[in-house]
Structure 1
Amino acid sequence: MDILTTEFFQRALIGGVLIGITAPLLGLFLVLRRLAMIGDTLAHVSIAGVALGFVTGVYPIAVGLVFALAASFAIEKLRKAYKTYAELSIAIIMSGGVALASLLFSLGKGFSVNVTSYLFGSIYTLGNTDLVWIAAVTVVILASVGLQFKELFMMTFDEDAAAVNGLPARYFNLMMSVLTALVISVSIKIVGALLVSALLTIPAACSLIVARSFKQSVMLVVAIAEAAVIGGLLLAGVWNLAPGATVVLLLIAILILLLAVKNGRRV
Structure 2
Amino acid sequence: MIDALLLMLSSPLMQRGLMVAVLVGISAPVMGTYLVQRRLALLGDGIGHVALTGVAMGWLAGSAAGLTPHDLLAIPGAVVAAVIGAVLIEIVREKGRTSGDLALALLFYGGIAGGVLLIGMAGGTAANLTGYLFGSISTVTTLDVWLTAGLALVILGIGLGLRPALFALCHDEDFARSTGLPTRTLNIMVAVLAALTVSVSMRVVGVLLVSALMIVPVAIAQLSARSFRATMTTAMGIGAAVCVTGLSITYFQELSPGATIVVLAIGLYAAVAILRPLLHRPAHAKDPHLDAEDDVQVSART
User: How high is the TM-score relative to the length of structure 1?
Assistant: 0.94
1:174-193 correspondence to structure 2 within 5 Å: 174-193=188-207
Of residues 24-33 and 74-83 in structure 1, the stretch that sits farther from structure 2 once superposed is 74-83
**Higher Cα radius of gyration:** 2
In structure 2, stretches of 5+ residues that fail to align are 63-71, 282-302
Aligned-pair distance for 1:190?
1.4
Aligned-pair distance for 1:188?
0.9
Q: Secondary structure at the match of 1:189?
A: helix
Work out the CA distance in 2 between the residues paired with 1:34 and 1:137.
24
| Residue equivalent to 1:150 | 164
**For 1:240, which of 254, 262, 265 is the aligned residue?**
254
Check the 8 A contact 2:116/2:126 in 1, yes or no: no
1:72-91 correspondence to structure 2 within 5 Å: 72-82=86-96, 85-91=99-105
**For 2:43, which of 38, 45, 48 is the aligned residue?**
38
**For 1:17, which of 22, 31, 34 is the aligned residue?**
22
Check the 8 A contact 2:29/2:215 in 1, yes or no: yes
Cα deviation code 1:190-233 (max 9, x no counterpart): 11111111101100110111111111101110111111011111
Check the 8 A contact 1:54/1:111 in 2, yes or no: no
1:62 and 2:70 are equivalent in the alignment: no
Q: Secondary structure at the match of 1:212?
A: coil
**For 1:260, which of 274, 279, 300 is the aligned residue?**
274
Work out the CA distance in 2 between the residues paired with 1:47 and 1:145.
24
Aligned-pair distance for 1:100?
1.3
How many residues align? The count is: 267
Aligned-pair distance for 1:265?
4.7
| Residue equivalent to 1:206 | 220
User: More helix per residue: 1 or 2?
Assistant: 1
Could you say if the C-alpha distance between residues 226 and 100 of structure 1 is closer, same or farther in structure 2, counting changes exceeding 3 Å?
A: same
Work out the CA distance in 1 between the residues paired with 2:52 and 2:266.
24
Work out the CA distance in 2 between the residues paired with 1:118 and 1:134.
15
1:226 and 2:240 are equivalent in the alignment: yes
CA RMSD across the alignment: 1.8
Check the 8 A contact 1:163/1:169 in 2, yes or no: yes
Q: Secondary structure at the match of 1:193?
A: coil
| Residue equivalent to 1:216 | 230
Aligned-pair distance for 1:110?
2.7
Work out the CA distance in 2 between the residues paired with 1:12 and 1:89.
34
Aligned-pair distance for 1:37?
0.8
User: How high is the TM-score relative to the length of structure 2?
Assistant: 0.84
Q: 1:132 is aligned with what amino acid?
A: W
Q: 2:75 is aligned with what amino acid?
A: I
